[in-house]
Structure 1
Amino acid sequence: MDKLFMVSFLGMLMAVYGVSGNMVYANIGVLNELESFDIEEDNEVNVFDIPSWTSERGCKVLVNVDSFGAVGDGISDDTQAFQKAWDIACSTTQSVFLVPQGRQYLVNATKFQGPCKDNLVIQIDGTIVAPDEPNDWDPKFSRAWLDFSKLNGVLFQGHGVIDGSGSKWWASSCKKNKTNPCRGAPTALTIDKSSAVKVKGLKIRNGQQMNFVISQCDSVRVNAVQVSAPGDSPNTDGIHITSSTNVVLQDCKIGTGDDCISIVNGTSNIKMKRIFCGPGHGISIGSLGKDNSTAIVTKVVVDTAILRETANGLRIKTWQGGSGYVRGVRFQNVRMENVSNPIIIDQFYCDSPKSCQNLTSAVEINQVMYRNISGTTKSAKAMKFACSDTVPCSNIVLTNVNLEKKDGTVETYCNSAQGFGYGIVHPSAECLNSHDKDCMVITDPASKVELADPSREEIVHTEL
């Protein structure tokens, strides 16, 4: 960014809005900090690509699940064969754990645990399918189906499918039928407590609840993975990242019934590039701070994404009563297509059958940039910054934002949110500079001139 241009531009802000010189240089500092962090894609994960069973590192040892009694007819229980094959592959250097193409393997909930010998490849070319009856699920695995843990330097690859058979789980969810008891359901694929992991080319579908979870990991790259579940399937987050660092998601296509990507507590250095999302609830940081908990999320980048017909676009959501912070977030080069809430920060998030109590503490949200965001919105509120009165959102930066509504005006709503915009910002976000605690800016779609809003609006606590 041209610092001389920014000095001139922010100097103009001083004249128009009466901003102090100290504030000008503070804003430059915020921009520099938001621009400064990035994640190197090429060197982030020190693993290897192996297109065949040999490499410069020597011959690979092929461990085929069929050799251990797997039937692959989608009816017979192949769990024991998978476990036996895993024990051999994990304990053998340069091995390939192979799920062959052209077959469907029924596998019950299983934990594939390391540490394993060097250079393990998990080659999934066939389909792995979960039992479809929740009542027969092993209670020891209530929240996981295929769980890979304590791995280092492992490559998951192939053109196969991981199918969670989630339809009966969704039907029994309290979100589908409020008379049902609320209970957690398994995640289709979990990678836990691992490092230097690469996942490439797999298809994950119909997760019982979340589809793919990365938990307590460091240095993970996910390339060209497809995640799919129906748009009305409850809580089926596409890729969920928790307590992890240095994660790169690239060229992923995700359509599901909840967040396409969700990032929660204990995460830092997360980069998402060339992401397609829809249907779903968008790309979300949170929810954070539930039950008065502390949450920390730092250094998150979304660079180049399309969000189509989603309930939200780029979202940060926190519960009242929490603590901690979200800092250093950059959303850039994002195209919205008929998205209900393209840009939203909600510090009053309440996903509860009962009304949530008003509390003063909150997860702090600071240093968030939206750059080169364009497209169409379903709702009039194209941008909504609903922030805590006691812990306001600060250093929100908007540049080259252009959001339109096909059949009406667009608005920016602010409550206790502070920041600034430059370049094109449509609808106008002057409420970020306002000293009013609660205000709305409405922009006429024809003239793009700010209009006065005679009303004051309450914050509505809803989950989309």
Structure 2
Amino acid sequence: MGESPFAMTYGTEAVIPLEVGIPGIRTQGVENGTNDVLLARDLDLLEERKERATIQLAAYQQQLARAYNKRVNPREFQVGDLVLRKVIGNKKDPKKGKLGPNWEGPYGITSILGNGAYRLEDNDTEAFKTAWDMACLYESGVLLVPFSYSFMIQSTIFTGPCQSGFVFQVDGILMPPDGPDLWPDSNSKNQWLIFYRINEISLQGGGLIDRRGKKWWDLPCNPHKGANRTTLSGPCDSPIVSDDCVSIGSGYYDVDIRNLTCGSGHGISIGSLGNHNTRACVSNVMVRDTVIKQSDNGVRIKTWQGGHGAVSGIMFSNVHMENVRNPIMIDQFYCLSKDCSNQTTAVFVSDIIYTNIKGTYDIRAPPMRFACSDSVPSTNITLSDIELLSTIGEMVLDPFCWNAHVPVWHSLFST
């Protein structure tokens, strides 16, 4: 007594444990000989059972949809509506895994195909970023927007560095989402296409960069509150609220701008430079073969008092003005308020060439305005073949010139 299989010695009686099995409900009616047959039959019926379960699930979902749809008024989508597009499994973002959304968008409907099918606005952002990254790897790489094709790109940063000689060839059409409602909340609405850390890039071609601004201009400028909490809104269609057609900031050099048409706004500006007493440098900029229409300014260089640095090697050539208020301007007293104090330092402006600048100007301001610093005047300004006529043919204004050194001034007409 008291012995166990683990305490066996010679001459000791062994105790052999027994396994006792009690048939359960699932195995009570099954004989060992027929078990394999039953398993094989279940495998044969497996697909049929899965199909029957799928049909039952679909029927349940239809019943559920009908129950909820009774509470909703039917409405067909229209062109311009925003919709979400379902993402199938093989197109999900692998970085987000199972927690990634099953939809993407919103997308705008561009046309109705019928039978519940719609054509959605394409989003070519990721494809363009991939093409950009590939083209950046090669010297004299080209990113081509082909002729007769349109591409929608969301707010995007094209980041360098790239190999030298990079060309962004726009022969087709580039456009952003159509209006502020189509811009994803995660994207900046202040900027559209940003080029960062890029040297020696050429943006060229005979295509179109369509900013699709109508829905932006239709927004009210300022929803001022009126009496009894009413809202007084006005359309943003005035040149006063628009900004520079092209703005060149500090750090830019070897820039070639050509074949542009600028509408109402502030024209083509270098600056503002030297704000908050900072250093600013811009050099070797050419603006040529350009038309500026119905604008507050034409070609302008603007700097703040108190800054330092230099603007040099700037040429404005073959520019046509149509009813521009300030066709030619250098302003070294740039200020956004009326109480900017005078300071003794300024960004040095020199070697500026204006040649073949023609057209008409708004007589509310002189056709040329050179307001240069008392302590750091602008030097070596060349004016050649300037012909600016007033829009009404009377009340001719002389150019305004303060502390600007103009050694070459010929073939100048402002009548």
The match for 2:404 is 417
Name the CA distance, whole Å, in 2 between partners of 1:368 and 1:79.
57
Q: What percentage of aligned pairs have identical amino acids?
A: 33
Distance in 2 (CA, whole Å) between partners of 1:108 and 1:78 is 16
- Of residues 165, 174, 177, the one that matches 1:163 is 177
Preserved CA contact (<8 Å) 2:151 2:173? no
Select the structure that is richer in strand: 1
Please name the residue that 2:302 is paired with. 317
**3-state SS of paired residue (1:336):** strand
Q: From the CA coordinates, give the structure whose radius of gyration is larger.
A: 2
Residue 367 of structure 2: aligned partner: 382
Higher helix share: 2
Cα distance change of structure 1 residues 370 and 156 upon mapping to structure 2, 3 Å threshold: closer
Instruction: Give SS of 1:418's match.
Output: coil
Instruction: Encode CA deviations 1:33-72: one digit per residue, 9 max, x unaligned.
Output: xxxxxxxxxxxxxxxxxxxxxxxxxxxxxxxxxxxxxxx9
Give the one of 340, 345, 356 matched to 1:361: 345
Note if contact 2:239-2:296 (Cα within 8 Å) is conserved in structure 1.
no
Give CA deviations for 1:119-175 in whole Å, capped at 9, x if unaligned: 685758455376xxxxxxxxxxxxxx3222136357564324223735999xxxxxx
Q: Hey, what's the Cα distance between the residues in 1 that align with 2:370 and 2:296?
A: 16
Name the SS of the counterpart of 2:192 in structure 1.
strand
- Aligned match of 2:356: 372
The 2-side partners of 1:192 and 1:78 are apart by: 32
2:319 to 310, 316, 334: 334
Q: How does 1:204-223 map to 2 (within 5 A)?
A: 204-206=210-212
- Residue segments in structure 1 that go unaligned for 5+ positions in a row: 1-71, 88-100, 131-144, 170-183, 211-229, 236-256, 428-444, 446-464
Alignment partner for residue 198 of structure 2, among 194, 201, 213? Answer: 194
The code of the aligned residue for 1:288 comes to: L
Secondary structure of 1:163's partner?
A: coil
Gap regions ≥5 residues in structure 2: 1-78, 95-109, 111-118, 217-235
Q: Which residue of 1 aligns with 2:272?
A: 287
Note if 1:408 corresponds to 2:390: no
Matches within 5 A, 1:252-271: 257-271=242-256
C-alpha displacement of 1:285: 0.7
Residue number in structure 2 paired with 1:75 = 82
The 3 A distance-change label for structure 1 pair 198 and 271 is: closer
What is the 5 A alignment of 1:442-453? 445=415
Aligned mate of 1:305, from 290, 301, 317? 290
Q: What per-residue deviation string (whole Å, max 9, x for no partner) do you get for residues 371-421 of structure 1?
A: 111111103411110011000111111111121212311211111111133
Aligned mates of 1:368, 1:86 — CA distance in 2: 52
| 2: CA distance, partners of 1:186 / 1:109 | 20
Instruction: Give the Å deviation of 1:364.
Output: 0.6
1:411 alignment partner, SS class: coil
Alignment pair present for 1:104 and 2:111:
no
Aligned to 1:150: 160
- Whether the aligned pair in 2 keeps the contact of 1:74 and 1:105 (CA below 8 Å) is no
Q: Is 1:345–1:387's contact at 8 Å kept on the other side of the alignment?
A: yes
Q: Which residue of 2 aligns with 1:399?
A: 384
The secondary structure found in structure 2 opposite 1:335 is strand
Q: Distance in 1 between matches of 2:413 and 2:249?
A: 29
Aligned pair count reads: 273
- Which residue type is aligned with residue 104 of structure 1? E
Compared with structure 1, are the counterparts of its residues 185 and 162 closer, same or farther at alpha carbon in structure 2 (3 Å cutoff)?
Answer: closer
Give the aligned partner of residue 128 of structure 1.
152
Letter in 2 for 1:159: I
Q: Which of the residues 205, 209, 233 maps onto 1:203?
A: 209
1:192 CA displacement: 1.6
CA deviation digits over 1:279-326, x for unaligned, max 9? 221111111011111100111112222111111111000111110011
Counterpart secondary structure, 1:291: helix
Look up the equivalent residue of 1:148 and give its one-letter code. F
Q: Which amino acid aligns with 1:203?
A: I
Q: Distance in 2 between matches of 1:148 and 1:268?
A: 19
Taking a change above 3 Å as real, the CA distance of residues 331 and 122 of structure 1, as seen in their structure-2 partners, is closer
Backbone CA RMSD of aligned residues:
4.1
Structure 2 distance, partners of 1:205, 1:342, is: 25
Distance 1:109 1:167, change over 3 A: farther
Which residue of the partner structure matches residue 227 of structure 2? none
Q: Take 1:74 and 1:120, find their aligned partners in 2: how far apart are those partners? A: 36
The answer as to 2:329 corresponding to 1:344 is: yes
TM-score normalised to the size of structure 1? Answer: 0.50
Q: Normalising by structure 2, report the TM-score.
A: 0.56
Please give the alpha-carbon distance, in whole angstroms, between the structure 2 residues aligned to 1:402 and 1:197: 31
Kept after mapping to 1: 8 A contact 2:245/2:268: yes
Structural mapping, 1:26-37, within 5 Å: none
Alignment-mate amino acid for residue 186 of structure 1: N
Letter in 2 for 1:146: T
